[in-house]
Amino acid sequence: MIRTPRLARVLVRWFATAARDLPWRRTRNPYAVWIAEVMLQQTTVAAVVPHYTRWMRELPTLGALATASPERVYRLWEGLGYYRRADNLLRAAWIIAARPDELFPRRFAERLALPGLESDAAPWRQMLRRAIRRGFLKSSIALVFLAGGFFVVEALLRAPRYCWR
């Protein structure tokens, strides 16, 4: 049986030796990580790296994205496909820029209200509710939506022992 702390140490050790050097891993900037995560949905890393680099050079901040024209955003998105992701990024940037603090919402419910995030999270919420209701999971779930510190871990509790057998 692998216990949770041991499994975590093994995974962290593996990642330290096997992780690729990617531009979004060199920053703790929430905006940069968000852009990378959205680009990486349904797209290969090899395709994303040049697009991400160009995007960050031309729209380096949330404010720059919020004031960019849709045409400019689409031009930077060309080659990544699924243009709805670009639309959702732009719409979410407008919403965030209109907030008094111009910061990404801290509350989970507010995050889910942003364009592009509500639909991604819905299947997870439904699956987790079902698993908890049927007793497969108690409230022992670590749910991380995006890596790199952009999304805060919503819940990090010990997994029941039977999960690791």
Q: Which residues are designated catalytic?
A: 37
Q: Are 115 and 91 contacting, i.e. CB atoms less than 8 angstroms apart? A: yes
- HSE value, Cβ hemisphere, 13 Å, CA-based, for 34: 27
Task: Determine the Cα–Cα distance for residues 90 and 15; give it in Å rounded to an integer.
Answer: 32
Element (H, E) at 54: helix 45-58
The Cα–Cα gap between 143 and 124 comes to 9
Which letter does DSSP use for residue 150 in this model? S
Give yes or no for a contact between 154 and 38, defined as CB atoms under 8 angstroms apart.
no
